[in-house]
Structures are given as structure tokens and as C-alpha cells.
Amino acid sequence: MLQELVELGKKYTILYVEDDKPLQTETQKVLQRIFHNVLVADNGQEGYQLFSDEQIDLVLTDIEMPIMNGLKMSEQIKEISPECPIVVLSAYSGSDYLIEAIENSVDHYVLKPINAKKLLETLYKVCQRLEDKRLVKEYKQQQIQQQIIEEKQDMLSQVSNCSPNPMLVYNNGKLSFINHAFETLFDHDDLETQIHSEEALEAFLNNHFAQDDILKNHEEITMPFSIGSLDTKDRKIALKTKEGKKFFLILKSHFNLKDETDASLYTMNDITELLYQQVQLELYSKNLSSAIEDNFVRRQPKNEGIINKVDF
């Protein structure tokens, strides 16, 4: 049992309140072998002050002490921390003390002179109770955290599925979500398998890269496409889709899907029409400049400094 108690006790801090110095010293040595931290006070007032200032998991206290006795201290502790277990040590076994101890919500009562086996058994029960509560609290927190994560993912799913832009989410480099727009962009039954990681997404996009004669010299639309480049700027890419060749502006943003993890959101904006219109405008501007040069600039006299006297 001692080994089990040590395994449990190393997670907790105990407050030990005792005015008998020799007993205090000997008991403190035992407690220090069991608990993560042992705080010691000489009376109830000091004990209550320590409990108010520190993070304490359980209390072991004598009853008869100067300034403030153990029962009064226990009563005040329970007012601010009703769940904190309190073990009382006392040489008195009378019913009056027991009734008062129960009324003050004392959890356990160990008689003096202290029987080491009895004290260890009592501390083991208290620590086991603390551990059970800790596990229940941890489980509830995990449930709440999981519920929050699921709600975040559900909200992300609803919002992104309303968007016409293909979107993907990677959590710590692993695929977490694809919206409908991306799924319908490519004709693959095992799409999730092919883009299961950010590295796989990079390979997938490069495998679907589409050559374009008009935009082949466009420096932003060249192979290979690098996911890493999206951390510093957006990128344009031409892709072969089941609807034909399309151009996309790909943006990457970071956010927390879970408190302890980093998620990456990839958004693909269809700029096919915009890009072709830009090329057409550039060609129009080039042709217009050429026409202006042919019709006006090249018809000017070679020697502009000589006046045509006949025309004058």
C-alpha cells in the first residue's frame, strides 16, 4: 500500500498543522516521502493563512492548538474550499469532539498517539478519492474540449461548404477537412488518400499542373509549385480539373483548431476569367501602342528642325 500511496501522493500538496514540534518534525519527514509538497504550520491561524495563499490539495491537522484550533481552521477552510479533504489528529476520542468534527465537515479522524499504519491507510483513502475526482474532472474537461473542437469543425464545415472556392484544412500537417467545392473540382474516388498531408497536396497539385501557351511565360504560374512558398506570399497555379483548365490564386492562413495545435487553411480562388481578361487587356494595350506608333510617330518628318516653307 505504501508504494501505491507514494504514487498517488507525488501529485498532491498537503498542509500539515501541528503545534507539537517533536511530533511535527517526525511526521513531516514521513509526509515528505509521500507527497509532492508538504507545507507546515504551528497553529490554525497560520494554517488557514497558508491555505489561503497556496494551492493545497488536502489538510492534516491537530485539534488542540494555540491561537486557533484545528476545528475552527477546518470550518474556515471548508467555507472557501468545500471539496478539500481534511484529516484530524487528536488525543481526544470523546463524542463531543467527534460530533463537532463531523459538523465542521472533517473527512477523517485519526487518534493520537498516531498509529503509522492507520495514518497511512487514511491518507491512502484520501489520495484515492482525490485521484478519482481528478480523473473525473479530467474526463469531463476532455469531453468539453472535444465538444468544442467538434463544434469548431462543424462551423468550419458549414461556412466553407457555403463558399464556391475550394478549401482544405490541415491540422499539424495532416488533412482535417475538404469542402464540397474542392471535392467536385477533381474526379477522384480516393481524393482524401491522395492529399492526406500537405506534402501530398503539393505533389497532387504539381501532378495536375496545366500547361498554357498564352500564359506560359507568366512567372507566377510555373512548375514546380511549392506549398512552402505560401507562407510568405500567395501563388497562382494552372490546374487540369474535370471542368477543364482553370487558374487559381492559392492563399494559406494559420489558425488554432485545437488549443495545442496549428491548423493551415488553404483557399483556392478561381481567377481564370480575370487572368485571361488581364492578358487580353495587355495585348490590346500593346496593339494600341503599336498603332499609335505606326500612325503618328513614324509619319513625323525626319528633320523636325527644318520648316517646310511651302506649307508655311
- pLDDT tens-digit map of 173-193: 898 888 888 888 887 878 989
Winning range, highest mean pLDDT, from 117-121, 135-139, 273-277: 117-121
Question: Of 131-135, 167-171, 251-255, which gets the smallest average pLDDT?
Answer: 251-255
Residues facing 209 on adjacent strands = 239
Rounded to the nearest 10°, the torsion over CA 113, 117, 122, 126 is 130
Handedness of CA 301, 307, 309, 312 (dihedral sign): positive
Looking at residue 22, its amino acid is: P
Distance CA(238)–CA(247), nearest Å, equals 4
Residues 224, 176, 151: CA angle, nearest 5 degrees:
145
Is pLDDT at 114 greater than 90 in this prediction?
no
What residues have CB less than 8 Å from 70, skipping those under 6 apart?
17, 44, 47, 61, 62, 63, 64, 88, 89, 90
Burial of 21: CB neighbours in 10 Å, binned 0-12, 13-18, 19+: exposed
pLDDT at 312 over 50: no
Average pLDDT, the chain: 81
| SS3 assignment for 160-215 | HHCCCCCEEEEECCEEEEECHHHHCCCCCCCHHHHCCEHHHHHHHHHHCECCCCCC
241-259 average pLDDT score: 81
CA–CA gap between residue 101 and residue 105 (Å, rounded): 7
pLDDT of residue 37: 95
pTM of the model: 0.51
pLDDT band at residue 31 using 50, 70 and 90 as cut-offs: very high
Q: Indicate if the pLDDT at residue 5 is higher than 60.
A: yes
Options 1.20.272, 3.30.450, 1.10.150, 3.30.43; CATH of 145-295: 3.30.450
User: Is the pLDDT at 287 greater than 80, yes or no?
Assistant: no
pLDDT at 243 (0 to 100): 84
Q: How many CB atoms lie within 10 A of CB 82?
A: 8
Residue found by looking up cell 495587355 in the block: 282
Q: So where are the chain's domains?
A: 2-137, 145-295
For residue 172, the model assigns a pLDDT of 85
Indicate the SS3 state at residue 153: helix
Looking at the predicted structure, is the pLDDT value of residue 255 above 50? yes
Residue carrying C-alpha cell 474550499: 81
Which of 4-13, 86-95, 164-173 shows the highest mean pLDDT? Answer: 4-13
CA distances from 236 to 200, 204, 233, 266 (A): 18, 15, 10, 13
* Residue range 2-137 in CATH 3.90.1720.10: no
Of 265, 262, 266, 263, residue with least CA distance to 237 = 266
Q: How far apart are the first and last CA of the chain?
A: 122
Angle at 153 between CA 152 and CA 158, to 5 degrees: 100
At 124-143, the pLDDT tens digits run 999 999 999 888 888 888 87
pLDDT, tens digit (0-9, with 9 covering 90-100), for 139-167: 888 877 777 666 766 766 666 677 788 98
